Structure 1
Amino acid sequence: MLDNHQKNIATFIHLSTFSRFLIPFGNFIGPIVLWMANKEKSEFVDTHGKQAINFQMSILLYALILGVLTVPFFFFNLFSSFDFIDINLFDGIHLNISEPSPLLYLGGGLGALAIIGFILELVFIVIASLKARDGEFYHYPLTIDFLK
């Protein structure tokens, strides 16, 4: 039988990922500290801790992949109008707003995907916290199980 303390610890493990807005890498530090301190006390807390950490590691991996894909498109679009042979570089810059590059659309689409992913991440964390508060197990979608 789960007591309120176990439910609260599991809830705080999920909510501690929001500490990244105050502390760099707080989304990893908070859940890891709470999970390591309480994982032997309850299988419920252990499962929720692993889920929270696995989800944050998966989100980091997905963000790195999106960044690796998006950044080159941005730089290719930015430097497409530069003439690198010309010494007087600033006279050769021409901005054509009427015809944006297809690379801009692709980079913008990947950027929009990143924003949607961020919003979904926040929603999933809140859902996991509510499930933990109610004493239910929760599996984050699209999570890679790094810790088993």
Structure 2
Amino acid sequence: MDLNKLEKLHELREKGAISEEEFVQAKAKLLNDQSVFDGVTNNLDSRNYSMLMHFAQLLCFVLPVFGWAVPLAMWLIKKDDDYVDQQGRIVCNWILSSLLYTLIGIVLAFVLIGFVWLFVLFILSIIFIIMGGIRAKDGEIRNYPMSISFLTVRPIPALPRPGNP
């Protein structure tokens, strides 16, 4: 528990910057070692870890198995953290979706259009992975575009920012 954050939270309540209800919610989150002042219910370590989990998918360009094994192992290691769990579901949804899209591209390669499909999928995968990592760092919980929802991803409610209703 960080006493400085708790004192700052108390000062905000005393100045009227946050309501009593916001104070109680933020205090409960703070006592659970959660970040209070950045407007999300997850701490900075969880966001950094989630960002790395998204970027770990890029290991598929080194060895294809690493691109799905490393992020899934990272997810399973910290699955008890609700934020990491939701981000892991997002990663898993994209891994399964891109695998399905790759299989479709391989089948279509017999008609030559599959090569274009696979090239576009390659480019989009890089873009989506980078976007997912940035969103995870910013505290957003959202599936990649074109991702099929094999696993349900639920948003975690964010705390209101001090001074905003």
Report the TM-score when normalising by structure 1: 0.70
Matched, 1:25 2:65: yes
Match of residue 75 from structure 2: 35
Structure with greater contact order relative to length (CA < 8 Å, sep ≥ 6): 1
**Aligned to 2:97, which of 58, 75, 78?**
58
RMSD of the TM alignment (CA)? 1.3
Matched, 1:112 2:116: yes
Write the mapping of 1:69-108 to structure 2, written as runs, cut at 5 A: 69-71=108-110, 73=111, 107=112
Larger radius of gyration: 1
Match of residue 122 from structure 1: 126
Q: Give the distance between the partners of 2:124 and 2:68, measured in 1 at CA.
A: 18
Q: Residue 114 of structure 1: CA displacement?
A: 1.7
Structure 2: 5+ residue stretches without partners? 1-40, 153-165
Match of residue 36 from structure 2: none
Quote the sequence identity (%).
Answer: 29
Tell me if structure 1 keeps the 8 A contact 2:107–2:114.
no
Match of residue 96 from structure 1: none
Counterpart amino acid of 2:44?
Answer: N
Matched, 1:47 2:51: no
Q: Give the distance between the partners of 2:78 and 2:63, measured in 1 at CA.
A: 22
Q: Give the distance between the partners of 1:18 and 1:142, measured in 2 at CA.
A: 18
Q: How many residues align?
A: 112
Q: Residue 66 of structure 1: CA displacement?
A: 1.4
Structure 1: 5+ residue stretches without partners? 74-106
Q: Give the distance between the partners of 1:48 and 1:124, measured in 2 at CA.
A: 13
Q: Residue 36 of structure 1: CA displacement?
A: 0.2
